[in-house]
C-alpha cells in the first residue's frame, strides 16, 4: 500500500486519475487541476483487449494498467464514470466489471474514489448534461490548451471525467454534492462543510491555494 503523503513540498493543485471503463477500450487519464480551475494533462492512455480473450485475462489487463498508473502518478483522487443499464446488457456488464477492477485498485492504495454519471461529466465540462462527444472533446481541448484532440474518444472522455470531478466535488469525492467548492464565483463551502482539523494535508493545501486564487 502506497504512502498517501506522496508530496514533500507545498501543493497548489489536485491530481486526479480518471477512468472511462470498458473491457475493449478503457481510458485512463491523469490531470492536475489548480484551485483556480486551470487544468494540465499529465498523461493519458487507452488499454484493453479483444473480446475473444477470456474474461479473467481481460480484467487482468485493466488491473495491471491501474496498478502501474496509480503507483507511477500517485493521484490524490480517483474518478470513474458510473454506468447505467440500457439495452446493450453485455456491454454494461463488461463496463461494470472494468469499473470494479479500477475501484479495487484505488482501494488498495486508500485513494478516495468517486463515481460520476456521464451527464454530470458533460454538465461540468460543457455546461450541458446532454452534450455530445464532439462537444466534450472540443471543451477538453480548450480547457487543456491542446491543438489536437486526444485519440481515441475514450481518452478525451477520461480527461473530462478528471476535470469534472475536481471542478464539481474533488475535495470530498461526492460529485454534485460539492459542486461549488472550487468555483471562484462563489464563497468556498469547504471550511464550513468539514472542520479543517479533520482535513488531510493535501486537502488543507488545496484549501489554502483556493483562498489565494480568489
Instruction: List pLDDT tens digits, range 25-65.
Output: 999 999 999 988 899 999 999 999 999 999 999 999 999 99
Which has more pLDDT, 181 or 53?
53
Please state whether the peptide bond connecting residue 141 to the residue before it is cis, i.e. omega within 30 degrees of 0. Answer: no
**What's the whole-model pTM score?**
0.75
Q: Report the 10 Å Cβ neighbour count for 212.
A: 10
* Residues 62 and 98 sit within 8 Å (Cβ to Cβ): yes
* Residues 87 and 44 sit within 8 Å (Cβ to Cβ): no
Instruction: List pLDDT tens digits, range 109-146.
Output: 999 999 999 999 999 999 888 899 999 999 999 999 99
**pLDDT for res 168:** 80
Question: Could you list the active site residues?
Answer: 20, 81, 154
**pLDDT for res 92:** 85
Which range is least confidently modeled, 14-18, 62-66, 127-131, 194-198?
Answer: 194-198
**pLDDT for res 83:** 77
Q: How many helices (H) and strands (E) does the chain have?
A: 7, 5
**pLDDT for res 4:** 45
CA distance linking residue 150 with residue 134, whole number of Å:
11
Mean of per-residue pLDDT scores for the chain: 80
Instruction: List pLDDT tens digits, range 56-108.
Output: 999 999 999 999 999 999 999 999 998 765 556 677 888 999 999 999 999 99
Which has more pLDDT, 81 or 10?
81
Amino acid at each position: 500500500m502506497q504512502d498517501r503523503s506522496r508530496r514533500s513540498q507545498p501543493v497548489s493543485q489536485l491530481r486526479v486519475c480518471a477512468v472511462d471503463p470498458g473491457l475493449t477500450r478503457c481510458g485512463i487519464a491523469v490531470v492536475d487541476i489548480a484551485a483556480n480551475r486551470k487544468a494540465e494533462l499529465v498523461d493519458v492512455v487507452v488499454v484493453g483487449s479483444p473480446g475473444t480473450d477470456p474474461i479473467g485475462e481481460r480484467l487482468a489487463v485493466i488491473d495491471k494498467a491501474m496498478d502501474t498508473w496509480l503507483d507511477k502518478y500517485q493521484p490524490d483522487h480517483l474518478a470513474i464514470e458510473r454506468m447505467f443499464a440500457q439495452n446493450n446488457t453485455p456491454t454494461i456488464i463488461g463496463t461494470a466489471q472494468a469499473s470494479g477492477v479500477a475501484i479495487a485498485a484505488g482501494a488498495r492504495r486508500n485513494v478516495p474514489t468517486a463515481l460520476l454519471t456521464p451527464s454530470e461529466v458533460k454538465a461540468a465540462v460543457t455546461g450541458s448534461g446532454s452534450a455530445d462527444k464532439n462537444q466534450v472533446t472540443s471543451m477538453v481541448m480548450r480547457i487543456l490548451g491542446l491543438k489536437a484532440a486526444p485519440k481515441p474518444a475514450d481518452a478525451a472522455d477520461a480527461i473530462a471525467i478528471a476535470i469534472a470531478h475536481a471542478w464539481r466535488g474533488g475535495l470530498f469525492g461526492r460529485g454534485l454534492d460539492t459542486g461549488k467548492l472550487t468555483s471562484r464565483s462563489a464563497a468556498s463551502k469547504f471550511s464550513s462543510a468539514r472542520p479543517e482539523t479533520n482535513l488531510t494535508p493535501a486537502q488543507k493545501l488545496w484549501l489554502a491555494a483556493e483562498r489565494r486564487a480568489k
